[in-house]
Amino acid sequence: MQLKLERIYTKPVDTDGYRLLVDRLWPRGISKVNAQLDDWVKEIGPSTELRKWFNHDPEKYPEFVKKYQAELDANPITTDFIRQVAEQLAKQPVILLFGAKDETHNQAVVLQEYLLASGKLPATTTKN
């Protein structure tokens, strides 16, 4: 199965799979109905302090990756989140949704890599 990334503002939206919003803040201008989410796990997003420090600055991205991975390591819900993603991937693609404009330097990219590196996802999991 695939572990995909999708910007929540992108149209057309991919509705084939388990749609999981991984931002701590609800994306501006998106209605809960139009989002067509299966779940919103805001607690898995970077802390408010880290998010404000990073401020989507590509030059800070390498340090952001390290800091966010450390937060994920320390986050008490990370284990359950990985289990949730793994259970869904056994049945269907999982789409990690995010609001950031920069599609290569954001927390969803870090989270996708973190999940793939965890060793706890089905062996056939690929990223998109």
Is the pLDDT reported for residue 12 higher than 70? no
pLDDT digits (tens, 9 = 90+) for 16-75: 899 999 999 999 999 888 888 999 999 999 999 999 999 999 999 999 999 999 999 999
Is the pLDDT reported for residue 119 higher than 80? yes
Higher pLDDT, 41 or 14: 41
Cβ atoms of 103 and 70 within 8 Å: the answer is no
Reference 115, options 124, 106, 127, 103; nearest CA is: 127
Is the pLDDT reported for residue 13 higher than 70? no
Is the pLDDT reported for residue 14 higher than 80? no
pLDDT digits (tens, 9 = 90+) for 91-101: 999 999 999 99
Cβ atoms of 9 and 30 within 8 Å: the answer is yes
Q: Rounded to the nearest 10 degrees, what angle do helices 107-117 and 61-74 cross at?
A: 50
